[in-house]
Amino acid sequence: MSQTYRNQLFLWMKSHVYRYSEAPFRLASGLESHHYFNCKEITLHPERLATLAECFVEEIIPKLGLDFQAVGGLTLGADPLAYSIALAYHRKGKLIYPLVVRKEAKGHGTGQQIEGFWKETKSCLVVDDVITTGGSTLKAVQALREAGISVTKGICILNREEGGSENLEKSGIQMESIFRKSEFF
């Protein structure tokens, strides 16, 4: 992995993303933890997001050995990742569609659960910011697969090392992360 991208991201993760508290935080999974990672501090900041996308496109994704037509996951955590990765590939002359997977199909209009050019897509790299139990990612994978899209691999910024990768693997998803929770304490 490019030490320049990863090292810079690690510094930002330590200074902006990672928090420890004696009073536990409630996580999206419903679990509680003394360790909290707010990756929006990376994904919603233009410079940090650009560096993250380069890290994924140059170093993480090539290790997967995967040919895919789209990148996406469950809204909100996956959205900036999908957009930035699609733009990074566009700058390289490669078309990768960003997809947004809603938590549930919308109740108006066309009633779609997936937004983007999913009908032109046969394969998708699933993305998420943080993996704890893998529940959010699995929800996205299920929706993508129900739409006829092949999903076998995924990427995330942080693996909290709390069973998420193993749960995803049981559903046929190999997950690759830039960081693991244990690197921060």
135 appears as a binding residue in the annotation: yes
Residue 160 counted as an annotated binding residue: yes
Q: Give the C-alpha separation, 66 to 176, whole Å.
A: 12
The annotation status of 71 as a binding-site residue, yes or no, is: no
Instruction: Find out whether 106 is annotated in a ligand binding site.
Output: yes
| Stated length of the chain | 185
Q: Is residue 79 annotated as involved in ligand binding?
A: no
67 labelled binding-site residue: no
Q: Which residues are annotated as a binding site for orotate?
A: 132, 160
Output the known binding site: 102-103, 106, 108, 128-136, 160
* Residues in the annotated binding site for 5-phospho-alpha-D-ribose 1-diphosphate: 102-103, 106, 108, 128-136
